[in-house]
Chain A
């Protein structure tokens, strides 16, 4: 393990906090834009962990995974925003609880 100026446990703690903020945002907010932003928070929490552990163990695989996650996040944002726009066009407002056509 390489020496680090900030201890690894701090990165893990910060990442956990950001991740659970994201989870809470997805679960409690009804505006889809906020939900998408919360999902981004969770992605970035994961990225932060990748970076921290890659640095700590001197293994570049973590960096590569971070780029991969950023790519997936970009694609997810594109599709998510497209869905939001489509829903807004048909319903004239956006609320994730109102999008319940698949209710059994």
Chain B
């Protein structure tokens, strides 16, 4: 049976906002050398136009029309019909509208910021072509009305991510990181592919509407298998344990890339997938539990590892991983509005944190190690304000955006009956406060340590620790002020970083709940023993402890006085478990890379030379042997041939004359 999703019709604006970034990417790619600096303006303009088109489509995306059975929410634009059940189209409903707003809105700001950040790069145009291509891929992902279209966008996004992580491909570490990200993401793509196989086998359609409408006809184990396969894709894209190891390495890309792709948009695709497939997950408690647990583990692991990093971008990368863990935990247990809200607020404050760190990195000539920073509050006051707002937001200080969404997720886990995930959420909130304030204190407080010998700070491998070439750079110590191109986007982001969360204020009557009223299932839940207000207070207590510990360790007068000695001590005493990120890399290496190599060796040494090559060799040998045998008959003696001929004729004669009874 066919189920409609969205009000079908013709929506030229929807097509426009989807295809504009693709057109931008093609034009910039083709005419990059001619466009020169204009490439940045053009790239930003198309994404900005796309954002305007999104705002103009707001009414289409939120419309609700009475349909057969349920209301049709949002706009549906048919594109291509293929086999029965394989129709391709675009769907703009509140969920995809939210994502499109973030992709094009935050994307536009990051494009503008990139003009300043990448100004001196020799591949300036190529960067914007890739960035526009990424926006197009991400829009394809969230606007598709079917699983195959989603997978196409999913794959293109991975490709764009590969291009951008490896943007500085002269650096071997960037190339390795790009390859790693791509391979792990493709592993996730395969998971989604298998989910599509199972969906098509049982529902005979790829459209979201048909799949969600027929979910009741699926058997429980089959549904669980589909959910697990989908979640493999979500986990790979959203850096969930154990497929998260590519995200910290992905920080090899330029900082705007980290902000746009590896914080605000792409890595939240897994959250989108689970939220989009809410009708599937809502039918299967085991699948919900699995996703919730993985999300919780990721949130905690990311936060713990964030405490042990020195590279400013890697700290933010682990915090991203941890925050996405929150989102996945939220949408996993069924608190869809909370999980999606955390995506919404996180997109702003994490983009801001990355762009703020980009201001610092840019000003310090590519220095990324926080041990070699310090005392930047006076030198980079704007960056300090930007980072401070981001840190307050991510820590969930009341009034800042993060507090609303994070509390919604944490309280949601309790509402849906997962007290252990609730405890993990609260613990992680405390850890988050600790490592984010650690970042803030080490970077901006005390005195500047850029001229201290790296070994005095406990930096054992300066070239590996992100200290790059700062020590030998001619511009070292010369803090050129960031251009307005970089400051304005960061300044604009401060506003939603503070206020975006207020949309959640008011519980069931908040604008947020109204917006998603018809999007997600709303089961009636028992009132938990701990109220929402108490939850907020517990979280705040943990956050206060985290900030207190960070203050005591890094920001007291005593700590600032002997900062060099303390940082060296902490670096040297850091447990190997943490510096090796819980050995996830080693474990994956052992499990997949070594096993593949072992298989390769076995096949290379045994199966291939003996069985495959052996068969080929035996065929050749038998042909040769047959040739030798037949050749011996060819004597070259004409009279011998004639004799054989005569014998042959004689045999015929005898046959006809004697055996078949005469020649008549």
Query: CB within 8 Å of B: which residues of A?
Result: 23, 26-28, 30, 96-97, 99-104
Apart from A26-B642, A27-B646, list 11 A-B contacts with CB within 8 A.
A23-B646, A27-B639, A27-B642, A27-B643, A30-B639, A96-B639, A97-B638, A99-B636, A103-B635, A103-B637, A104-B635
In this assembly, does B524 line the interface, its C-beta being within 8 Å of a C-beta of chain A?
no
Cβ of B638 and Cβ of A99 under 8 Å apart? yes
Query: In the bound complex, how far is the Cα of B642 from the Cα of A27, in angstroms?
Result: 7
In this assembly, does B631 line the interface, its C-beta being within 8 Å of a C-beta of chain A?
yes
Cβ of A100 and Cβ of B636 under 8 Å apart? yes
Cβ of A102 and Cβ of B636 under 8 Å apart? yes
Complex partner residue of A97 from B631, B632, B639, CB under 8 angstroms: B639
Q: Cβ of B638: which chain A residues have Cβ within 8 Å of it? A: 96-97, 99-100
Cβ of A104 and Cβ of B633 under 8 Å apart? yes
Query: In the bound complex, how far is the Cα of B638 from the Cα of A104, in angstroms?
Result: 13
Instruction: List which B570-603 residues lie within 8 A (CB) of chain A.
Output: none
Q: Is the interface of A mostly helix, strand, loop or mixed?
A: loop
0/1 string, B629-660, CB within 8 A of A gives 1? 01111111111001100100000000000000
Q: Cβ of A101: which chain B residues have Cβ within 8 Å of it? A: 636
Of listed B630, B631, B638, B642, residue having the most chain A CB within 10 A: B638
* Residue in chain B with minimal CB distance to A38: B642
Query: In the bound complex, how far is the Cα of B639 from the Cα of A19, in angstroms?
Result: 17
Query: In the bound complex, how far is the Cα of B638 from the Cα of A23, in angstroms?
Result: 13
Query: In the bound complex, how far is the Cα of B639 from the Cα of A30, in angstroms?
Result: 8
Q: Give the B interface residue count (CB, 8 A).
A: 13
Known pairs A23-B646, A27-B646; A104 contacts B636 (CB<8 A): yes
B650 CB, min distance to chain A CBs, angstroms:
10
* Residue in chain A with minimal CB distance to B643: A27
Query: CB within 8 Å of A: which residues of B?
Result: 630-639, 642-643, 646
Q: Cβ of A26: which chain B residues have Cβ within 8 Å of it? A: 639, 642
Query: In the bound complex, how far is the Cα of B640 from the Cα of A96, in angstroms?
Result: 11
Q: Cβ of A100: which chain B residues have Cβ within 8 Å of it? A: 635-638
Q: Cβ of A97: which chain B residues have Cβ within 8 Å of it? A: 637-639
* Residue in chain A with minimal CB distance to B638: A96
| 10 A/B residue pairs, CB under 8 Å, sorted by A | A26-B639, A26-B642, A96-B638, A97-B637, A99-B636, A100-B636, A101-B636, A103-B637, A104-B631, A104-B636
B225 CB, min distance to chain A CBs, angstroms:
65
Query: In the bound complex, how far is the Cα of B642 from the Cα of A30, in angstroms?
Result: 12
Query: In the bound complex, how far is the Cα of B639 from the Cα of A100, in angstroms?
Result: 11
A11 CB, min distance to chain B CBs, angstroms:
17
Query: In the bound complex, how far is the Cα of B441 from the Cα of A13, in angstroms?
Result: 128
Q: Cβ of B634: which chain A residues have Cβ within 8 Å of it? A: 102-104
Query: In the bound complex, how far is the Cα of B433 from the Cα of A84, in angstroms?
Result: 108
Query: In the bound complex, how far is the Cα of B634 from the Cα of A101, in angstroms?
Result: 10
Query: In the bound complex, how far is the Cα of B646 from the Cα of A55, in angstroms?
Result: 29
Q: Cβ of B643: which chain A residues have Cβ within 8 Å of it? A: 27
* Residue in chain B with minimal CB distance to A28: B639
Query: In the bound complex, how far is the Cα of B642 from the Cα of A26, in angstroms?
Result: 8
Q: Cβ of A102: which chain B residues have Cβ within 8 Å of it? A: 634, 636
Query: In the bound complex, how far is the Cα of B635 from the Cα of A28, in angstroms?
Result: 17
* Residue in chain A with minimal CB distance to B642: A26
Q: Cβ of B636: which chain A residues have Cβ within 8 Å of it? A: 99-104
Q: Cβ of A27: which chain B residues have Cβ within 8 Å of it? A: 639, 642-643, 646
B521 CB, min distance to chain A CBs, angstroms:
84
Query: In the bound complex, how far is the Cα of B632 from the Cα of A99, in angstroms?
Result: 17
Q: Cβ of B631: which chain A residues have Cβ within 8 Å of it? A: 104
Query: In the bound complex, how far is the Cα of B634 from the Cα of A100, in angstroms?
Result: 10
8 closest Cβ pairs, A-B complex: A103-B636, A100-B636, A104-B634, A104-B631, A96-B638, A102-B636, A26-B642, A27-B643
Query: In the bound complex, how far is the Cα of B632 from the Cα of A103, in angstroms?
Result: 9
Q: Cβ of A23: which chain B residues have Cβ within 8 Å of it? A: 646
A27 CB, min distance to chain B CBs, angstroms:
6
Q: Cβ of A104: which chain B residues have Cβ within 8 Å of it? A: 630-636
* Residue in chain B with minimal CB distance to A101: B636
A59 CB, min distance to chain B CBs, angstroms:
16
Query: In the bound complex, how far is the Cα of B631 from the Cα of A38, in angstroms?
Result: 29
B628 CB, min distance to chain A CBs, angstroms:
9
Query: In the bound complex, how far is the Cα of B632 from the Cα of A10, in angstroms?
Result: 44
* Residue in chain B with minimal CB distance to A24: B646
Q: Cβ of A99: which chain B residues have Cβ within 8 Å of it? A: 636, 638
A29 CB, min distance to chain B CBs, angstroms:
8
Q: Cβ of A96: which chain B residues have Cβ within 8 Å of it? A: 638-639
Of listed B630, B633, B642, residue having the most chain A CB within 10 A: B642
B396 CB, min distance to chain A CBs, angstroms:
92
* Residue in chain A with minimal CB distance to B634: A104
Q: Cβ of B633: which chain A residues have Cβ within 8 Å of it? A: 104
Query: In the bound complex, how far is the Cα of B630 from the Cα of A70, in angstroms?
Result: 37
Query: In the bound complex, how far is the Cα of B637 from the Cα of A101, in angstroms?
Result: 9
* Residue in chain A with minimal CB distance to B650: A23
* Residue in chain B with minimal CB distance to A30: B639
Query: In the bound complex, how far is the Cα of B646 from the Cα of A101, in angstroms?
Result: 23
* Residue in chain B with minimal CB distance to A32: B638
* Residue in chain A with minimal CB distance to B633: A104
Query: In the bound complex, how far is the Cα of B640 from the Cα of A99, in angstroms?
Result: 12
Query: In the bound complex, how far is the Cα of B631 from the Cα of A102, in angstroms?
Result: 10
Q: Cβ of A28: which chain B residues have Cβ within 8 Å of it? A: 639
* Residue in chain B with minimal CB distance to A29: B639
Q: Cβ of B630: which chain A residues have Cβ within 8 Å of it? A: 104
Query: In the bound complex, how far is the Cα of B637 from the Cα of A28, in angstroms?
Result: 12
Query: In the bound complex, how far is the Cα of B636 from the Cα of A30, in angstroms?
Result: 14
Query: In the bound complex, how far is the Cα of B635 from the Cα of A15, in angstroms?
Result: 32
Query: In the bound complex, how far is the Cα of B638 from the Cα of A97, in angstroms?
Result: 7
Q: Cβ of A30: which chain B residues have Cβ within 8 Å of it? A: 639
Query: In the bound complex, how far is the Cα of B33 from the Cα of A34, in angstroms?
Result: 89
Query: In the bound complex, how far is the Cα of B630 from the Cα of A104, in angstroms?
Result: 9
Query: In the bound complex, how far is the Cα of B642 from the Cα of A97, in angstroms?
Result: 12
Query: In the bound complex, how far is the Cα of B635 from the Cα of A101, in angstroms?
Result: 10
Query: In the bound complex, how far is the Cα of B569 from the Cα of A78, in angstroms?
Result: 110
B324 CB, min distance to chain A CBs, angstroms:
76
Query: In the bound complex, how far is the Cα of B646 from the Cα of A23, in angstroms?
Result: 8
A48 CB, min distance to chain B CBs, angstroms:
18
B64 CB, min distance to chain A CBs, angstroms:
89
Of listed B635, B636, B643, residue having the most chain A CB within 10 A: B636
Query: In the bound complex, how far is the Cα of B634 from the Cα of A30, in angstroms?
Result: 19
Query: In the bound complex, how far is the Cα of B306 from the Cα of A48, in angstroms?
Result: 113
B626 CB, min distance to chain A CBs, angstroms:
13
Q: Cβ of B639: which chain A residues have Cβ within 8 Å of it? A: 26-28, 30, 96-97
Query: In the bound complex, how far is the Cα of B183 from the Cα of A28, in angstroms?
Result: 80
B330 CB, min distance to chain A CBs, angstroms:
83
Q: Cβ of B646: which chain A residues have Cβ within 8 Å of it? A: 23, 27
